[in-house]
Amino acid sequence: MVEVTVTPRSSLADQPVQVRVRGLSPSQLVTLRAWLKDEHGECFQSRAFFHADGSGEVDPGSHAALGGSYSGVWPMGLFWFLQPDTLFRRLVKRDVAGSPFLVRLEVFDGLRLGTELQEQPLGWCEAERWYVGPGVQRVPVREGRVRGALFLPP
């Protein structure tokens, strides 16, 4: 059974996480894909191709991606290289305090280039990426022509 894990599963958007895939065959070629839907329903995704190591594991933090959205060793590459399916869209989080982005990480056998993957993944997991930590208070600022928000720590 193939297992995809993200540690920690819930984290702040600027906090590094560790992605691991276990249960693959040694040297198996796989596509690791990350995707999310923003608050407007737009899909953003990235993918990277890897060869599993001798124990059947993939760790983007120590194994080089062979291609896809990036190549080389980028521990956070799947998160940093998310691209919109629709050109000229930007990934923007409006409700920063109320909900996280849910990033789904999936692993597929072989190389998968298409943007719409109909095939069932070998394994998957979800990661929560929050923009505001627990207990942080958001105070709207409206003074003259200045508009903004002040975020106060707990």
125 pLDDT higher than 60: yes
Domains and CATH numbers, the chain: 3-152 (2.60.40.2240)
Q: Quote the distance between the C-alpha of residue 139 and its chain's center.
A: 29
Q: pLDDT tens across 77-119, in order? A: 999 999 999 999 999 898 888 899 999 999 999 998 875 556 7
Percent of the chain with pLDDT over 70: 97
Q: Which long-range contacts (CB under 8 A, 24 or more apart) does 92-97 make?
A: 92/38, 93/13, 93/38, 93/39, 93/131, 94/39, 95/39, 96/131, 96/132, 96/138, 97/131, 97/132, 97/136, 97/138
pLDDT for 115 equals 55
Rg from Cα positions in the chain: 18
Phi/psi at 81 (5° precision): -105, 25
